[in-house]
Amino acid sequence: AQSVSQHNHHVILSEAASLELGCNYSYGGTVNLFWYVQYPGQHLQLLLKYFSGDPLVKGIKGFEAEFIKSKFSFNLRKPSVQWSDTAEYFCAVKGSGYSTLTFGKGTMLLVSP
Amino acid sequence: DSGVTQTPKHLITATGQRVTLRCSPRSGDLSVYWYQQSLDQGLQFLIQYYNGEERAKGNILERFSAQQFPDLHSELNLSSLELGDSALYFCASSVSGASGDTGELFFGEGSRLTVL
């Protein structure tokens, strides 16, 4: 069975600080990887995704993530966060075929102005 | 707006009662997923339907059931409710093929259930 581990449950940053949220997964085969974001009071939205190809993927709002296959990692980064990035971030993995999308427990990011 | 519609947005009920949550997927999406989000458990996959048939089952209690109708909308039925069932219930949809889907889901705004 696949699983996802997010390293930090809560992160507090000041505006303009750099962000890196860790995500590791366990699965024996090919995976599709995702970061979803949930702004306060809203539904989950796709931030970025990796299916294949360039392991450095860019998403919306200046976010990017790097897939490192040897480390089973898919860390999320942003060079300079804004107050509006305050949200909960979920890493998710899906294996091949009929396997379902599995989410990590989420990281709550609070950006202070 | 994701195109996925969930009703009701909020629901308050008592222990032992039964409720039904409704979801309409994005136009053209054949798969519907139900997730439960709570503070202690995070996002838990409950069940997936594809074109009217159950495709995958996750951590869904026996007191819970779901179905997908011919028009592709889905309902999640929660019965004999307990305090611990209080949570946000999300529906999501995706375009699925015969060999599965990519995992890219489109989420509704959720139904917040409070059991008193």
Residues B58-82 have a mean pLDDT of 96
Confidence of residue B40 (pLDDT cuts 50, 70, 90): confident
CB atoms within 10 A of CB A50: 20
Provide the percentage of residues in chain B whose pLDDT is more than 90.
80
Q: Are B107 and A44 within 8 A, CB to CB? A: yes
What percentage of chain A has pLDDT greater than the value 70? 99
Task: Share the mean pLDDT of chain A.
Answer: 93
Per-residue pLDDT, averaged over B52-78, amounts to 95
**pLDDT tier, A17 (very low <50, low <70, confident <90, very high otherwise):** very high
Chain A residue with CA closest to B57: the answer is A100
How many other C-beta atoms are found inside a 10 Å radius of the C-beta of residue A14?
Answer: 10
**Phi and psi angles of residue B26, each rounded to the nearest 5 degrees, phi first:** -60, 150
Other CB atoms within a 10 A radius of the CB of residue B20 amount to: 15
What average pLDDT does the segment B23-45 reach? 91
Side-by-side strand order, sheet with B64-68: B5-7, B19-24, B74-78, B64-68
- DSSP type of residue B26: P
A18 pLDDT more than 60:
yes
Tell me the mean pLDDT in the region A9-18. 96
Whether the pLDDT of residue A55 is over 60: the answer is yes
Residues 77-96 of B with CB under 8 A from A: 90, 92
Given CB atoms, is B111 within the 8 Å cutoff of chain A? Answer: no
